[in-house]
Amino acid sequence: MKKLLYRIGKTIFICLLLGEITITPFNSLSFSSVKATDVKVETINEKTMLSDGQFVYGPNVNDFDLYKYLKEKAPHLLPYYNNLYYYSLSPSINPRVILTLLELRNSIISSTTDIEERLKDPLRIDNSGFEKELDLVTTKLNGFFYYILNKYYKTSLEKREDLKLNLNDGNTILLSKNINAGTYALLATFSDLMGKEELEIFNSNLDNKSFYNTYISLFPESDPFSQQNMLDTVTPPSADLLQFPYPIGESWYYNGVHSYSIGGSDRSSIDFSTSSTFPSWGTSTSNSWAVAAFPGTITKHTNEQGVSCGATIDYGDGWQVYYYHLQNIQDYTNNKIKRNEKVGNLADSEAKATCLGGAASGEHVHFSLKKNGALYDVDGSNLSLWTVHSGVNSYETDCTLMYLHRTLRGEEEKKCPIGGTSPNSVNNDGPFGGDNPNTNGTVFWGDNVKDRVGLAEVKNTITIEDTTVDNSKSFIINGNVNKKNELTLKAGSTIYLKNGFKAEEGSKFNASIDVTLNP
């Protein structure tokens, strides 16, 4: 039941959010345009409050240590570290932004008086407590940010709808159509709690009570206007970058595309489990491993008690994958993890699965894609050469709308998500669509992952027949040069031809070939 309500909440929020936008009372979480023609609409001389690249939790955060900052500047917030970390990390919002809002709204960072009362209503919303108000605010920030980033920006300027804010003093404010997503998210989230004068102060770069001045007073080392972290929501990951986040050779079920949390609008995440219904808590998960979708640097996400239930892998060119609801997260030398290596087991209890926060109703891995810190819409992206089709709503169950699809060796396949009439497990063939690389010596020939022109089976040795081969030609295996015309592979290895060289089984080559072992 919890899972069903969770899905319904997400679906309703996104359906409402993707329509025209106007802010209604904060606790209603509804979104629709101002239609009344007799409402007087005013404008404000809006200013950029925050660049889009500084809004997200990405390279812009650098080595900011949230725990260390709280310990030094606001030790009274250390009991709330888990909440602050989770509601920064999962919706991918710069923790400096959240701390700035807490200070601006209720002097939560600097105040040493009446702190218990302040913490009951930290953002001056509805006295619902620290975690609930953080959840509410970050959900709205996320929704408004990705509405602009993923929908509004992708509409030509002349066709963009008006962006109107209803304020609590009865004023309606019209914003410019080229407003940046970070600024819009801040204004739209808090507009119904402010009158026109207060909103103008909030948006000012001069007033001491503005967002900008509060931000730089707390974080003088950080520039909220920095453009160094540029966001790219258009360029997809390469077709062979990502594999499924479970071991090659295993078949798991996917639970559909969804947003980071209830009410999100980013469509960045997919849940995967080992059965067509999430196993009940307490089932042994010692053999249920989430694995690295690509090689990179792994960072554990650990709560105040030293327990880790999430991790992020950074590929190194802006792409990141985020895992949550895990336990027994592994350590690696210099934090370097290879593709298909173990990240952690599926958590076997809700307490372990949500060690930082959030909710989970059964054993599964939550898997999200990010680019430069921005949650990336996975629709159209590939996992182990399966193309993701996201449908209309989060956790869509209609397999004509939400499904996985691939064409491999001339055959089309389609898989349906959990919740539909025929959920299918999906075998992980790896990022190149190959057989299990742990079996003996399968070799795929071709110039790219979408154009396989032949298939050769070998055991331990492959001989390249080339009448022109001599010592001036090189065959490269994982960086090692072999100037012979025979390439010997270890048992169980898989090789892939690169460099745009098209080949069929038995072909003769008259050029050098780059051959790389499967990561």
pLDDT value for 498: 36
- Order across the sheet with 172-175: list the strands: 41-43, 172-175, 163-166
Output the DSSP codes for 379-430: TT-EETTEEEEE-SSTT---TTTEEEEEEETTEEEEEPPTTSSS---EE--T
Which whole number is the average pLDDT over 147-162? 92
Report angle CA 509, 462, 476 to the nearest 5 degrees: 65
Using the predicted structure, report yes or no on whether residue 197 has a pLDDT greater than 90. yes
Between residues 274 and 478, the one the model is more confident about: 274
Largest CA distance in the chain: 85
The answer to whether the annotation marks 76 as part of a ligand binding site is no
Q: 298-349, pLDDT tens digit by residue?
A: 999 999 999 999 999 999 889 999 999 999 999 999 999 999 999 999 999 9
pLDDT value for 204: 92
Which whole number is the average pLDDT over 137-160? 93
Structure tokens at 326: 């895990």
The answer to whether the annotation marks 301 as part of a ligand binding site is no
Domain ranges of the chain: 2-218, 251-427, 442-517
pLDDT value for 391: 87
pLDDT value for 510: 29
389 in Cβ contact with 379 (< 8 Å): yes
Using the predicted structure, report yes or no on whether residue 468 has a pLDDT greater than 50. no
46 in Cβ contact with 175 (< 8 Å): yes
φ, ψ for residue 415 (rounded to 5)?
Answer: -125, 140
Which whole number is the average pLDDT over 207-225? 95
- C-alpha span between 382 and 284 (Å, rounded): 30
Three-class secondary structure of residue 342 per DSSP? strand
Q: 226-261, pLDDT tens digit by residue?
A: 999 999 988 999 888 899 999 988 999 998 899 876
- Order across the sheet with 411-415: list the strands: 382-383, 386-390, 402-408, 411-415
pLDDT value for 472: 31
Place of tokens 């089309």: 412
Which range among 36-40, 120-124, 365-369, 475-479 shows the weakest confidence by mean pLDDT?
475-479
Using the predicted structure, report yes or no on whether residue 203 has a pLDDT greater than 50. yes
85 in Cβ contact with 96 (< 8 Å): no
Place of tokens 């077709």: 239
- C-alpha span between 494 and 3 (Å, rounded): 40
pLDDT value for 327: 97
Residue 14 burial (C-beta neighbours within 10 Å; 0-12, 13-18, 19+) = buried
- C-alpha span between 26 and 125 (Å, rounded): 8
Residue type, 291: V
Report angle CA 245, 247, 249 to the nearest 5 degrees: 130
- C-alpha span between 233 and 231 (Å, rounded): 6
Structure tokens at 223: 């520039």
Three-class secondary structure of residue 251 per DSSP? strand
Average pLDDT, the chain: 79
pLDDT value for 424: 87
Q: List the one residue out of 270, 239, 244 whose CA is nearest residue 382.
A: 239
Helix (H) or strand (E) holding 181: helix 181-190
Q: 13-69, pLDDT tens digit by residue?
A: 433 333 333 333 343 344 433 344 456 788 888 899 999 999 999 999 988 999 999
Cα 14 to Cα 29, 181, 264: the distances in Å are 11, 17, 7
Please confirm, yes or no, whether 325 is among the known catalytic residues. Answer: yes
Which range among 101-105, 119-123, 367-371, 492-496 shows the weakest confidence by mean pLDDT?
492-496
Residue type, 13: F
What value does the CA radius of gyration of the chain take, rounded to a whole number of Å?
Answer: 25
pLDDT value for 409: 63
Residue type, 52: D
Which of the residues 76, 364, 389, 405 is marked catalytic? 364
Which whole number is the average pLDDT over 84-104? 97
- C-alpha span between 117 and 105 (Å, rounded): 14
Which of the residues 76, 325, 389, 405 is marked catalytic? 325
Q: 410-466, pLDDT tens digit by residue?
A: 678 999 999 877 888 999 887 766 533 332 233 333 222 222 222 222 222 333 333
Query: If pLDDT is split at 50, 70 and 90, which confidence band does 372 have?
Result: very high
φ, ψ for residue 483 (rounded to 5)?
Answer: -95, 20
- C-alpha span between 314 and 319 (Å, rounded): 6
Q: 76-93, pLDDT tens digit by residue?
A: 999 999 999 999 999 999
What CATH architecture applies to the domain 251-427? Answer: Distorted Sandwich (2.70)
320 in Cβ contact with 367 (< 8 Å): no
The answer to whether the annotation marks 405 as part of a ligand binding site is no
Q: 381-398, pLDDT tens digit by residue?
A: 999 989 999 988 888 889
- Percent of the residues in the chain that have a pLDDT greater than 70, as a whole number: 74
Query: If pLDDT is split at 50, 70 and 90, which confidence band does 196 have?
Result: very high
Which whole number is the average pLDDT over 182-193? 96
Cα 26 to Cα 39, 59, 138, 140, 168: the distances in Å are 20, 31, 12, 9, 10
Between residues 349 and 506, the one the model is more confident about: 349
N- to C-terminal Cα separation, the chain: 41
pLDDT value for 108: 95
φ, ψ for residue 112 (rounded to 5)?
Answer: -120, 5
Using the predicted structure, report yes or no on whether residue 490 has a pLDDT greater than 70. no
Please confirm, yes or no, whether 76 is among the known catalytic residues. Answer: no
Beta-carbon contacts of 519 under 8 Å, excluding residues fewer than 6 positions away, are: 294, 295, 338, 339, 340
Helix (H) or strand (E) holding 374: strand 374-375
Q: List the one residue out of 429, 443, 338 whose CA is nearest residue 382.
A: 429
Three-class secondary structure of residue 312 per DSSP? strand
Residue 356 burial (C-beta neighbours within 10 Å; 0-12, 13-18, 19+) = buried
- C-alpha span between 310 and 356 (Å, rounded): 9
pLDDT value for 435: 39
- Percent of the residues in the chain that have a pLDDT greater than 90, as a whole number: 59
